[in-house]
Amino acid sequence: MLAFIRRCDDAPPVLVVCNFTPIVRYGYRVWVPELGRWRERINTDSESYGGSGVGNQGGVNAEEIAHYGHPYSVSLTLPPLATLIFEYEGP
């Protein structure tokens, strides 16, 4: 697994998560910097790319559950051998 936040001054933060295993991961928790909706912008396991279609049904909502010293996190379904990109939409 690999997860990171991409930030810049003139755009909302982006969360990138990669699952390099051949197993679907359910309830995989990742910290995020903001509460609110995180929209799934890219899922390389999408059926439109020839994948199995496993994902997060368009996005997830951040929760006030601390993770790795940060106050907010999201619970994700990670498709096998895939990369997901989420964009922060706001509260």
Give the pair of three-digit tokens for residue 69. Answer: 């010293």
Q: What is the pLDDT of residues 39-62, one digit of tens each?
A: 999 999 999 888 899 999 999 999
Spell out the domains of the chain, with CATH numbers in brackets: 2-90 (2.60.40.1180)
pTM (predicted TM-score): 0.92
Tell me how far CA of residue 51 lies from CA of 55, 56, 74, in angstroms. 10, 14, 23
Over residues 71-88, mean pLDDT: 97
pLDDT tens for 16-25 read 999 999 999 9
- Is the pLDDT at 27 greater than 90, yes or no? yes
Cβ-contact 15, 67 below 8 angstroms: no
Give the confidence band of 31 by pLDDT, cuts at 50, 70, 90: very high
